[in-house]
Structure 1
Amino acid sequence: MWSETIKAAFLLLAAVTVLVFQGSASAEVAALTLRMSAGPQTDIQPGGRVDISCAFDPPATYIFWRFSSNNGVTWNKLALCHADSGKCSLQEQFKNWTDRLATRVNGSLTLWNASKEQDGVYECEGIRNTDAAKDNRSITIVTPPAQPTVTAADSDTAIEGSRLNLTCQSVGGNPPPQISWSVRQRSQTEYSALDSMSPVFSWQPPAQKFGSTVASVSVLTASSANLAGIVCHTAHPLANATSNELLIKVLYAPKLPRVASQRAIAGSSVGINCTADANPVAKLTLLKSNSTLSEASQPTLLHSVPSATRNLTGVYSCLASNSIGSARRDFSLTVLYPPAVQAPSSVTVREGASLQVGCNVEAEPPPFTVNWRHPGSGRLLGNSSRLLITAAARTDAGEWTCEAQNLMSPSDGREPRNGRGSATVQVTVQYPPGMPVVAFTAGTSVVQSGSRVALVCRPSLLSPGVPEPGFSWTIRTSTSTRVATGPALTIESTGLEDSGEYACVAENSAGRGPAASISLTVQQPPRWLDDSTATTTTTTTSVGVGSFALVCAVRGRPACEVAWSRNGRELDPGAYSVSREFDPALFVTRSTLRFVGPSRSILQPKDNGAYGCSAQNSHGKITRTFNLVVEFPPLIQTSTTKLALDPAASEISLECEILAQPKPKVTWEVGSNSYVSNVSQDTLTPYKHRATLFGVRSHGRFTCVARNALGEARHSVDVVPRGPPDPPTNLRMLSPPNWDRVSLSWQPGFDGGLQASMWLRCTPPPEGRSADEPIRIEHDSSLRTVAANLTNLLPATNYSVVVFARNQLGSGSNSAELRFTTSELAMPTVTGLRRDGNSATTLLLDAWPAGYCLRVEAAASVKKSQTQQQQQQQKLDASERQWRQVKLQQSACDAPSDGRLTGLDLSTLTYRLSLCLADRLAVCGPAATTENMSGFPEVSSLTIIIVAAFCTLLIICLVAILVFFCCRNRPLASKEAASSGDAATSAARASELDSPPARRDSRLRRHPEPDLMASTYKSFSSGKPYAMVSPHPSLTSTDETSIDQTNKVFSTLLSANHPIVGNNNLESGSDNSGTFLHPGRQRKVIYEVVV
């Protein structure tokens, strides 16, 4: 409490000081900062040492130390240090720390011989004047945990499938240890993870520091975990430990192994064995068909049968049960026996048909061969239990014997045995009647509805059938299938439902013969499906209905064609859809007119009218009219909101055009007065109405109010004096702007009572127009929207557009401003710009694409300077140049064939070249200038490679030729020297001529003007332009080359009449002797090379 009181007093004193010195010159006070550190480490064992340092900048006047043993939840005042007094004092409750803790006024705190109670968070806070800063550090007293112990929460015994809860407890340890688990399965020595037991882990930290750490695990028990040992492990920075082993016991239901199925020959002995694994031991029971055969209360049960019979075959079950559960294992016992054959005593079959007779063979195992034997003919058919003759004949009648044989192999290893069996069948062959004959006795195959038709069916003459057949009819129409009997069939009055196929079949006890059929077609003119004779119906509905449709259903054969009309005219395909459905079974054509289409989806007022439906086929035509009445509330179509009253006119009339069904009542409201108006109806469009208010002589607002049973509508018209037009509205772009144009639209305002014209003002103006010149827009005044294209724009340019109207009384206000930016346009640039050698009048450049023109501009050249100030001035001069367009001698839109631009003055002017659109010369691409331009033509890398290769090859050839002549002349010279003296002399001279020339003395002579050379070299060394001029009579060319004794070019000699010299393009030298050429004072310098 006393530290908080001092802190508050200090803050109050600082605030008073600020108030006292407010308004006077105040000194800047740096904010208090804190850098806190602890070491050498913050995790120490009991008895260890740690230093905590708080460095304040600038030094704090007061330093408060606080301690929290619960991670900052609550704080206790530890110590207070006062810098001026140089003293630190501990709080009363921490006096017992005196021999283990020390604080200093410099912001340091030292713990030595640390104990558990000093584990926690240490915070220091410094105060200086009105500033404060604080920070904290955590100090952990590390102690090892005790050996863990494992216990079962309830019991160490569990039932398989349940969970067993285990607890591991470790006392002490700071920080708390990490706990893990492992298991040793029964009959194993190594421990492994609990993954196979589906563990669920939990961990509970100590309730207080240095307390007990508890970890729990819930494991899913299985039979394999019975008598398994589980331990837990603790991991801690100071020590790791393992708990005692806890053996768990698992009670589980019986588990039965697979029991092999057995095979035994009837009459032999059989043994059955059952074994179960369970805890506790299970009771074993042997069952057959859920009947108990034997029982045993031990792990194994043995059941014996001395003599097997067929009734022992079946499924047996070995059942094991204990207090936990039960298990069942099914297996089979098969008793083997020879075939037992059964077959029908007699079979009747139709002649020529397939004869199929089966014999039922019971045997175990099934027979490997089954044969049919015919004793009368000696035929043998097999191998199948079914006798199959695809076309039976009368010779196939008689006795047939089915014979079967199997092989019985028991599972006990005894020798296999053969088994045999047989049965006899008496076969009788009959034949059915043939196809009858069907004919009309009255009528034909195609008749009109209402006619009489008679049919007759007679037996076949070639195959009448034995015994004598009877006759039946099958009548298949589009709607049903009917049956009749007897040889004759009569229809007194035919209808569409009688159309179909009539089939007659002859049948006797041997079978049914093939059917003979004949078709009957009944035709009918169109008839309405509802059988109504009314030709006109009326339907009333409401506007906005989305699923309304008119249906025209008609029946007739041939199928009817249906056509729709509205008020006697063809339908609008955009407002209606017509679907046609034909039912071939009922001969019904159904045409549906739906009031939907590309332009709408619901009923509209314009759907009122008479809709005609006509149906027609080859036998006639019928027509029906649907009068559709669509009711809707009034809709006022008048769009005029203002009218001007001419002062010279005595009165005007106001009109209100209304759509409504039923007919509305119309009134005009003027101020507080209302007038009932007569309503006229459009004869062609009954739901269109018009109300007129006559004799309007004053200005004001007139409101047309239309009402009917479904609602009302209002529309106001302001009658005003004539004046300038209202501003247009809704100025917008119809599409994103192009680089040179944009499409605009807007809605004109009220024209002021006079004919108005539309105007557009664009800033900056399009090419070819002045800044203050608006553009007149021609438009149709009857249209509610005006559209216009603004052209001749420049690419990548910001534009602002407004529109306004103008009449005889003046211009209206501007519309809202529309701003847009035109798109960019990719333009080619001039390429390959270079001098033509040293020419000062000709430039070379690459050809440009078609559709573009070359723009050439010139400005005075800026002299090159060396100092930074002069270079900066040079840039300013270049940016302020006045460029003027240069007219070329050749066409500016056709690239010169030789790539040359002539007639230029490169010595005094700088040129800027750019490519512009041929049809828009103001639209140009980036410019290329002649400043810092290369004097050599651009050469491609391929050209350089080719020239280098050629030069290399030429040098190799010259070297080879030189070597050849040297080797050839040496033997020849020796031979001629030995033959004669004259020849030797000649050889010596030849050798002298062939040998490399002796190095001769070379010097450069100069004619009078001795100071010129020095001045020239001085100018060369200073980097200024210079020239060597040689008017010597022996030099015939204006441009000569001076060479030294090594045959290397070292300078170009320019004559006095060279353009550079003649145009006085050389700057004066720095030498005062005046040996350079100055304007008006040309001097000749003569150099001569003497070798």
Structure 2
Amino acid sequence: MSCSSCIMRILLYCSTALYAFNVKITPSENQIRTTGDKLRLTCTVTFTPEEFEDVDEKTWSGFEYPNGADTNKLKQRKEKLPASNKIRTTISIRDGSAGLSGDYKCSYGDQSKTLSVTFNEKLTFVDSAEVAIGKQIEVGTKSFDCKAKPNDLKYSWTNGTNEKPKEGKTLDFGDGVTKDFNENTEYVCEINRASTGDFETLTYKFAVVYTPEVTIPKSSFVRKEGDSVSLVCNVDAKPAADITWSRSGKVLEGQTGTTLKLDNLTFADHNGKYKCKASNGIGKPASGNIDVTVVVPPKASITQGESVNVKEGDKLKLDCSASGQPKPSKFIWTLPDGTQQPEGAIFRSDANSNHNGEFTCSAWNEVEGETYGPGNATIKVAVQYSPKNKSPSTTIYGVEGKNTEMKCIISANPNATVSWNEDPKKLNTTNSVSDEPTETISIYTVLASAATYKSYTCSAKNSIGSEEFSFELKKATPPAKPEAPSATDEQIMYQSITFNWKSPDSVIPITSYKISYTDKDGNEKDTVSAGADTSMQLTGLKEETEYTFYITAQNEAGDSEKSSGVTLTTKKPVPPTVKITKNETVDTSMKFTYKIDVLGAENLKSIDITYYELRADGTKGPETKKTFTSDQFKFNKEDKIGTANLTGLEAGKTYEAVIVVYNDKIGSEPQKIKFEMKPDTRSSTATVIGVMLGIIIVLLVFVDISCYYMRQGGLMMTCHKALCSEPEPKVPESSNEEAEKGSSRARKW
């Protein structure tokens, strides 16, 4: 060993022995913190008592800061602790940041300690916890990224299941979020810093949102003025959308619902295009259009006014116009005789007698194939014309020996003078004006005979002209030969047949018909008058009998030739077919409802019901038979349904009945039916009420006896005191003390 080395060892040993202090930093381990954290660093130097006396903490430099540290944020506090022979310096970091990271060195003499401090950026999610619970996510979104600070973090997702966490910041929604997405599922995003191992989590619960979807159930309405209409706009949106309505671009204030009700429609205030607009801040607003057409029905008017005069043969022109929305496009003229001419708004014609009277112009407008109207306007047209014959016929048929009227009906404007070209002494005429103001009626009455069967002339004249009209009086004849009567199978019964026939030709009205018939041996039977009808039911026939029937028509001129005969055979009676369709109990009676499929004869005659009790041991009770005549049961021939009531039965018992229905000739097959009568609930109810009343009375007596023996009052005690007790003597007035003693005795008693 060299001499210099030895000297150095000796000096080091001596210095150590001379200065025995110790430097210590608290905390002793290097610090990794997050920005914003607080941190306190303490450097303590411990001395021996001898050394401590010479220490001056003010000349001690304390901590050395990291290079570039913002010393304005670092403050040291030095202090001397005599009790423990220590000096101490403290640095308090109140808001840690990356600029304060580095090595903090504390030295004293030749001793020093160094502490490394690192402030990492705080793990922070972009979304707050409040935002994450209810985080809005649009329909169709296929993924969602978890965002946090600082960079270079490790991300993973879990969704509350036992599945292994999925690495990465992106949460995958597959084909996209749908409207039925489960909003209750929790998704947890975890961020982790590999260098330090610290981590944070954020729980998301997604709220599905989507842009409004507007559906218009009906996009077009046509209504008349004064009507009402409801416009419906169905909106599907999340969150709920704000709805506004507008008409022709103008917003309708206060209308924010899905239904817009419009009352008392007018064209000016309500006709147009309506828009329903929905917005909820998600995507673009949605809208739908509804067309409302307010129809103003036509109002017609005629240019010529209320009336016009014209002569026969002159030109007649009538102009019609109409207002309305939309503009009326269809016009029809109705003439005085009721005929119609769809010639448009203008009527043109040469005036004639058929034009005399009231014309009506009718106007319609049309929307989407539907017409509205009519709007009518009328005008009276007075046409002056020469006489016209309006008689229904100019050929008259008279029955010889009877008076016959020939009626000459003349239409003329002005009214005509009417006369017959016959010997005035032989004339028997009556003239009058009909309900039509332009018609005149002249009736010539003549006795029909060979001498009066001839031609007659009716003359008519007015200021426009004159005319003659010929009438022919002919001899009336009996009706033509009628066709044979007929009857369908349903009309042929057992003792009757319903006939139908056609009315034959006749120059005068038919007054009656006669039906005659013969049996198979040719013997003629009764002849029956059928009146003027062309159908009749013939009764009183025998069953299973063949007849030949004829028809004869009659008028005032005589009988027609007898028709050809028709041979028919009445039916053979058969038993009625009966089916019991329903039975119902009413108190102590049974109501049967039956249906007759085949009546088998003309009428139902009677119903026999034989019934007996079915006992519990399986035996039968005595038989009882009841016969119902036709006035004791109901039967409707139209629907062939009837009812019968069986009375005198006992409640709660089971019966069996055999039913036979008879028509005029024969009975049906027996119909057997089993039924059970309802129990008599009235008697059982009375029994229950009686028992309950008895129990109540017994309880009242028991309570009364108990009260008597316990000296607590009651009916028995009241009676006892009234009958058995002596009257109490009157107590004279005394002191309060005696009164109290008497009261006490009374209470004891």
TM-score by length of 2: 0.33
TM-score by length of 1: 0.25
